[in-house]
Amino acid sequence: MEIDHKDGDKNNDDEGNLAHACYACNNAKSDVFTDVEFERMGEVIRQIYHKRAKKKGFHLTEDPNSK
Ligand SMILES: [Zn+2]
């Protein structure tokens, strides 16, 4: 996991502007999208990770397909 800036302002290191993000989300979101705008794309990335994990026999506790 990486530390990402929610609003993309890299000078704002306030705790409320920081969040954990995986490599794919952090790079795709960049400073182009806000955290709220990126939620739907993050969900797709999460589903892909879960699909890959399942193929390898891992079970992730948070299954996006169980919603
Ligand atoms: Zn992610």
Q: What is the pTM for the complete model shown?
A: 0.74
- The span from the CA of 41 to the CA of 29, in Å, is 9
1-59 per-position pLDDT tens digit:
899 999 887 789 999 999 999 999 999 999 899 899 999 999 999 999 999 999 999 87
* CA distance linking residue 30 with residue 66, whole number of Å: 29
Distance 27 CA to ligand 1 centre (A): 9
pLDDT at 35: 92
Residue with the larger pLDDT of the pair 8 and 62: 8
Please identify every residue whose CB atom is under 5 Å from ligand 1, which is an ion. 22, 25, 45
Range of the domain at 56: 2-66
Q: What is the model's pLDDT at position 59? A: 78
Could you list the beta-strand ranges (E) of the chain.
2-5, 18-21
- The pLDDT, as a whole number, for residue 66 is 56
Number of domains observed in the structure of the chain: 1
